[in-house]
Every structure is written in C-alpha cells, then in structure tokens.
Amino acid sequence: MIPGVFAAASVLVFVVRFAREPRRVGNAIWFAIALGFTGLWLLSLLRHSEWAQLAVIAGVAIAGALAALVLPWALIANGVVMLRREGRRLANLLSLLAGLGLLAVFVLSVSALALNDPPWLLVLAATVLLVTGYLAFLFVALMLYSILYSRVNRLARADAVIVLGSGLLGDRVPPLLASRLDRAVQVHQRSPGALLVVSGGQGPDELTSEADAMARYLVEAGVPADQVLLEDRATTTGENLRFSVAVLDRRGFSGAVLAVTNNYHVFRTAVLARKLGLKLNVIGAKTASYFVPSAFLREFVALLLQYRKTNALVLLVLAGGPFLLFWYAR
C-alpha cells in the first residue's frame, strides 16, 4: 500500500511538472525518484513470492557489482579512444578521469573495509562514497531525462528550425555538424514551408563562417535557398539561440520553433533556452558512439556548474556529515 502511494505521488508530481515546463533540471530528479518508487512498488507486488523477490534483488546486486567493476575500465578505454581521435583537450579527458576516479573510489572502499583501521580511513571512505553516490544519482537522472526529453520531441513539426553550429574543418562541414543539418532536413521534409536558420560565426581556424558552410550544405541537400536564413555572429550556444531568434523576429515570425543540436547536448540547450526566456524546444541528432560518454560527462559538468551553489551546499553536507559524526562519537 505505502510503496504504491509513494509511486503514484511521485509520478503525479513529475507528470504535472513535465506538462507545465519540460525544460527544467528539477524534472530529471523527479523522473529518477518516480522510477525508483515505481520499482519499489513493483517489487512489493511480489511480496507473496519470496523466490521472485530474491531473484530481482540478486539481479540488481549482480548488475550493480558488474557495473562497479566494468564501468571504470570502459570509461578509461573510451578516454583513450577520445584522446587518439579528438586530441588532448580537457573536454576529451573527462571519461578517462571519470574511470580513474571510480577506480580510486573502489580501491579506497575495499582498503577501508579490509584494514578497518585507522578509523579515519573508514570515515574518508564513507565521505567519498556519499559524494560519489550523489554525483552518480544526478548523472543517471540527467541522462535518463535527456533521453526522454529527446524522444518526446523527435517527431515534432515546426515553422522554423534553428541549427546550432559546432565548428568547421576549414570550410567543410564535419560529420558532427552534418548530423545536425541532416536532422534539420528531416524536420523540413515534415514541414516543407519551415524556415531553417543556420547559426555560427567564423572561428580563427575556419575559412568561412559556420552559417555560410551550413547554408551551402542545406541547399545541396535540396532545401530551397530562400528558406535558409543565416546567423553568422554566434560563438556560444546562448548566442546561437538568442541571435537566431532575433533573425526570426526581424522577419515578424511568430510560429513554432525547434532547435537542432546533437543528442548529448539537447537537454542543456533546452535548459539554457528556458533560462533565456525563449519559447522553443530542442531535438537531437545522432552522435558517433565513441563520442557519447565523454560528451554526456561534459554536459553533466556544465549543468553542475550552472547550479553550482545548490550542488556545492549538498556536497558540503555530504562530505562533512561523516566527519562530524566521527568527531561527535569520539
């Protein structure tokens, strides 16, 4: 009875929040909470079948153990691939650093349990596990909700589509950017009269503006040239959105707007659009599989920093709690 009440209440809160505004970070937290309580409710339905409960619990435990053992090495392997294919930039080191961090947490936890002395080692391990658990919960919640948000709008029609730039190779459109443009073409095929705004300025190592190269790509793909609008000043995602909406406003446009980026970048772009007060939704394009783990980690870090005061407070409480208990117990 009680698990069902909590499940129903959390699902109701999530559905109401999502219906009112799907572009809120808090929705990801409620989505994870609703999934958790729903899982507990479904487990409670098996209370008359002890073997079934044990099977589910054992399955979850085995999956968790495998994840703890396999995930760090998978992230490290992905980090090596990222360094080889994308270069030695900090953003490309995220999966490698995450994998090494998880290994360090595992070693610290095992050492604390095995040695059981000195006491401060157990306290340190408890602190690290709490902090890691909080970050892992947030990451999973944001990843799952990002997938949900992306799928909700994937077949949406639009009167205008904003395509966010992501860099050129000289004057050529690279695969990452091409996937965004191809996605915009798909939307245009569903909404033939839609305007397509291509957004991106010219970087120091680029031979033309991103907008110009993107426009040529779309025209070659069959989009009428008079339906392609250029915004060639933006250098950040925020500017992509603001400047592109301004281009549409100058034409007196007032229809439905979709922004296109890559799937890993969808939710943070939507959150940013809400923060800027822009009425648009965001859809995603496919990304090379090796790029996804590092990209999601980058988006996660960006969202953590965007809400750094709240996260810093929670992390401070989690990190300080075990030490305060240890000090009080002495």
Confidence of residue 330 (pLDDT cuts 50, 70, 90): low
233 and 177, same domain (yes or no): yes
10-35 burial code (b ≥16 CB/10 A, e <16): bbeebeebbeeebbbbebbbbbbbbb
Is residue 196 included in any domain, yes or no? Answer: yes
Residue found by looking up tokens 């939704």 in the block: 281
Handedness of CA 283, 287, 292, 298 (dihedral sign): negative
Amino acid symbol at 167:
G
312 and 232, same domain (yes or no): no
Q: Which pLDDT score is estimated for 122?
A: 83
Q: Which pLDDT score is estimated for 92?
A: 80
Q: Give the model confidence (pLDDT) of 12-26 as tens digits.
A: 999 999 999 999 999
CATH code of residue 221: 3.40.50.620
Residue range of the domain that includes 300: 75-152+291-330
Q: Give the model confidence (pLDDT) of 255-298 as tens digits.
A: 889 999 998 889 999 999 999 999 899 999 988 888 888 888 98
The mean pLDDT of the chain is: 87
Q: Which pLDDT score is estimated for 328?
A: 74
Q: Which pLDDT score is estimated for 81?
A: 87
Indicate the range of 38-52, 203-217, 286-300 predicted with least confidence: 38-52
175 and 280, same domain (yes or no): yes
Q: Give the model confidence (pLDDT) of 82-139 as tens digits.
A: 888 777 777 788 888 988 998 888 888 888 877 766 777 888 888 998 999 999 999 9
CB 34 within 8 A of CB 18: no
168 and 268, same domain (yes or no): yes
281 and 295, same domain (yes or no): no
171 and 270, same domain (yes or no): yes
Is residue 271 included in any domain, yes or no? Answer: yes
Q: Could you give the CA distance from residue 217 to residue 172 in angstroms, rounded to a whole number?
A: 9
